[in-house]
Structure 1
Amino acid sequence: MTDPLTPAARALCEAMSAGFPGPGSPAELRAAARAGVREVPPAHETSANGVRVRLYGEAAGPVVVFAHGGGWVLCDLDTHDGLCRELASRTGLSMVSVDYRRAPEHRFPAAEDDVCAVLEWAAARYGGPLFLAGDSSGGNLAARAALRARDGGGPAVAGQLLFYPALDHRLDAVSAEAYAEGFFHTTAHMRWYWEQYLGPDGDAVAASPGLAADLTGLPPTLVVLADCDPLRDEGLAYARRLSSAGVQAHIHLHTGVFHGFLGARGVLPEADAALAASAAWITSLCE
Structure 2
Amino acid sequence: MQADPFDPTRLAPDVLAVLARMAGTGAPALESLPITEMRMAYLQVGALLGGEPIPVGQTLDLQATGPGGPIPLRLYLPKTGIAPFPTTIYLHGGGWSLGDLDSHDKVCRRLVNTAGCAVVAVDYRLAPEHPAPAGPDDVVAAARWVAAQATALELDASRLAVAGDSAGGSLAAVVCQQLRGSEVTLRAQVLIYPATDLSPAGDAFDSRRKNGAVPPLTLEAMRAMVTPFLSGGFDTRDPRVSPRLAPDLRGLPPALIITAECDVVLDDGRLYRDALFTAGVPVEYIEYPGMVHGFIEMAGVLPATQTAMEQVAAFLSRHLDLATAGS
Q: TM-score range by the shorter chain?
A: over 0.9
Q: CA deviation at 1:51?
A: 1.1
Q: Distance in 2 between matches of 1:2 and 1:257?
A: 11
Counterpart contact for 1:226–1:259, Cα < 8 Å = yes
Tell me which moved more, 58-67 or 71-80.
58-67
Q: Distance in 1 between matches of 2:236 and 2:183?
A: 23
Structure 2: unaligned runs, 5 residues or longer: 1-6, 322-327
Q: Distance in 2 between matches of 1:241 and 1:220?
A: 13
Question: What root-mean-square deviation, in Å, do the aligned CA atoms of Structure 1 and Structure 2 show?
Answer: 1.9
Q: CA deviation at 1:200?
A: 4.3
Q: Distance in 1 between matches of 2:204 and 2:171?
A: 20
Which residue, 219, 236, 242 being the options, matches 1:204? 236
Structure 1: unaligned runs, 5 residues or longer: none
Q: In the alignment, which residue of structure 2 is the partner of 1:138?
A: 168
Q: CA deviation at 1:53?
A: 0.3
| 2:60 alignment partner AA | H
What is the aligned length? 286
Q: In the alignment, which residue of structure 2 is the partner of 1:70?
A: 94
| 2:110 alignment partner AA | E
Which residue, 101, 125, 133 being the options, matches 1:101? 125
Counterpart contact for 2:10–2:290, Cα < 8 Å = yes
Which residue, 292, 298, 319 being the options, matches 1:285? 319
Tell me the TM-score normalised to structure 2 length: 0.83
| 1:243 alignment partner AA | F
Q: In the alignment, which residue of structure 2 is the partner of 1:33?
A: 42
| 1:74 alignment partner AA | L
| 2:231 alignment partner AA | G
Give CA deviations for 1:185-226 in whole Å, capped at 9, x if unaligned.
Answer: 111221232211111411211110011111111110000000
Q: Distance in 2 between matches of 1:105 and 1:285?
A: 37
Moved over 4 A (4+): 36-42
Note if 1:161 corresponds to 2:161. no
Q: CA deviation at 1:43?
A: 3.3
Q: Distance in 1 between matches of 2:168 and 2:59?
A: 21
| 2:191 alignment partner AA | L
Counterpart contact for 1:21–1:28, Cα < 8 Å = no
Q: In the alignment, which residue of structure 2 is the partner of 1:224?
A: 258
Secondary structure class of the residue paired with 1:43: strand
Q: In the alignment, which residue of structure 2 is the partner of 1:189?
A: 221
| 2:317 alignment partner AA | T
Q: CA deviation at 1:36?
A: 4.4
| 1:92 alignment partner AA | G
Larger radius of gyration: 2
Tell me the TM-score normalised to structure 1 length: 0.94
